[in-house]
A and B are shown apart, each in its own frame.
Chain A
Amino acid sequence: AQSVTQPDIHITVSEGASLELRCNYSYGATPYLFWYVQSPGQGLQLLLKYFSGDTLVQGIKGFEAEFKRSQSSFNLRKPSVHWSDAAEYFCAVLFRRAGNNRKLIWGLGTSLAVNP
């Protein structure tokens, strides 16, 4: 079955440290991949997306993500975390289903805390 896994429920990093949030999916073909961020009490905002082409994609707020087909992964990275990056991060994957239908499946999210 198609699934999206974010292995880390909670991550705590120090301000200025680097960050990597993991996302793995199970699917035979190349899906469309998204990372969203949800600040406390807010809706979700798109950070970046991968549809095709260069496997390293740049997003907003200094984030980037790399699609690795061999590992079925789309990990989110930031070289230096700011206190304002504390939020919930969601990976989402758009799968193709029978009859050209599409289904967007969400990971359960990773909660990021940033220590000063």
Chain B
Amino acid sequence: DVKVTQSSRYLVKRTGEKVFLECVQDMDHENMFWYRQDPGLGLRLIYFSYDVKMKEKGDIPEGYSVSREKKERFSLILESASTNQTSMYLCASSFIFVWGLAGRLSYNEQFFGPGTRLTVL
């Protein structure tokens, strides 16, 4: 079974602190994703990575950065945590598969970790 683990289930930090959320997957997936989930807003993509040291901004990257030094690990960094970053953070990973005549890489189904509920006081 695919396993995606996140370093913490619950985290409480203070405003201005630097926060690291770690995600590890054990299925050699190329793609990794960070989402935040808020009531009434669904899942919103923060950043994703399709290869080591590669990253792309999602829909709400402001206030966040990411790091992917190894294929299995994808870190989300809050440089200076703020109260509006209190949320559930979900990490996901997926294989890349080739589709279409153009043969470009794309997404496949995503496998999710259990989430980290971050509270910023």
Chain A residues proximal to chain B, CB less than 8 Å: 34, 36, 41-46, 49, 90, 94, 100, 102, 104, 106-109
- For residue B32, CB closer than 8 A to chain A, the reply is no
Contacting pair B112 A102 (CB below 8 A): no
Total B residues in contact with A, Cβ cutoff 8 Å? 20
Q: How far is the CA of A24 from the CA of B4 in the complex (A)?
A: 29
With both chains docked as a complex, state the minimum distance between the C-beta of A16 and any C-beta of chain B, in angstroms: 29
> Who on chain A is nearest to B90 by CB?
A43
With both chains docked as a complex, state the minimum distance between the C-beta of A96 and any C-beta of chain B, in angstroms: 8
> Who on chain B is nearest to A4 by CB?
B42
Contacting pair B106 A108 (CB below 8 A): no
Of the candidates B40, B100, B112, which one forms a contact with A108 in the assembled complex, judged by CB atoms under 8 Å apart?
B40
Given the complex, which residues of B lie within 8 Å of A100, measured CB to CB?
100, 102, 104, 106
Chain B residues proximal to chain A, CB less than 8 Å: 4, 40-43, 45, 90, 92, 100, 102, 104, 106-107, 109-115
30 A-B pairs within 8 Å (CB atoms) are namely A36-B112, A41-B114, A42-B114, A43-B90, A43-B92, A43-B114, A43-B115, A44-B110, A45-B112, A46-B110, A49-B109, A90-B42, A90-B43, A94-B106, A94-B107, A100-B100, A100-B102, A100-B104, A100-B106, A102-B106, A102-B107, A104-B45, A104-B107, A104-B110, A106-B42, A106-B43, A107-B42, A108-B41, A108-B42, A109-B42
Q: How far is the CA of A99 from the CA of B47 in the complex (A)?
A: 20
Contacting pair A44 B42 (CB below 8 A): no
What 3 A-B pairs come out closest when comparing CB atoms?
A: A43-B112, A100-B104, A108-B42
With both chains docked as a complex, state the minimum distance between the C-beta of B3 and any C-beta of chain A, in angstroms: 11
